[in-house]
């Protein structure tokens, strides 16, 4: 077990409810629209772990659209929990260099929902610029 799985962040936000894209996607878009309206440029959230650095959300939709439909639903359900984890968690992630690109570091944060379902949030950091992107959210099986 990795360090972040031993001590996951306990989120108070519940995952999105629903069983189809028509139920889950509007809730997720509403949440992201709320975040997008707070800035004039790219949507971002501030991270407690990275000392209030910005975590940009633009890569998340691109990455999600590459997944099969059932997997998109499974991952999108945990978006509110992931946003809370990024904003509030100071727990150390599991960090490693991206095996495909040497100029990127992948940080994986572990969290649990209020009903104790384990999920992971992956943030990608570009070494040269320090820019961070929310890459993925997924349940941990």
DSSP state of 100: S
DSSP state of 39: -
* Residue from 91, 124, 101, 102 nearest 10 by CA: 91
pLDDT, tens only, 90-129:
989 999 998 999 999 999 999 999 999 999 999 999 999 9
- When divided into structural domains, the chain yields a total of 1
> Can you give the residue range of the structural domain that contains 16?
3-139
25, 58, 66, 96, 129 from 104: Cα distances, Å: 29, 17, 20, 9, 10
pLDDT band (50, 70, 90) for residue 1: very low
DSSP state of 15: P
What pTM value is reported for the model? 0.88
């Amino acid at each position: 077990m990795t360090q972040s799985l031993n001590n996951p962040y306990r989120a108070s936000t519940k995952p999105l409810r629903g069983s189809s894209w028509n139920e889950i996607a509007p809730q997720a878009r509403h949440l992201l629209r709320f975040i997008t309206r707070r800035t004039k440029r790219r949507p971002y959230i501030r991270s407690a772990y990275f000392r209030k650095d910005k975590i940009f959300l633009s890569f998340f939709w691109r990455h999600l659209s590459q997944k099969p439909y059932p997997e998109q639903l499974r991952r999108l359900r945990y978006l509110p929990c992931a946003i809370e984890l990024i904003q509030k968690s100071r727990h150390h992630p599991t960090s490693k260099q991206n095996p495909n690109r040497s100029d990127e570091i992948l940080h994986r944060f572990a969290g649990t929902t209020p009903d104790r379902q384990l999920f992971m949030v992956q943030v990608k950091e570009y070494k040269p610029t320090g820019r961070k992107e929310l890459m993925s959210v997924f349940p941990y099986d």
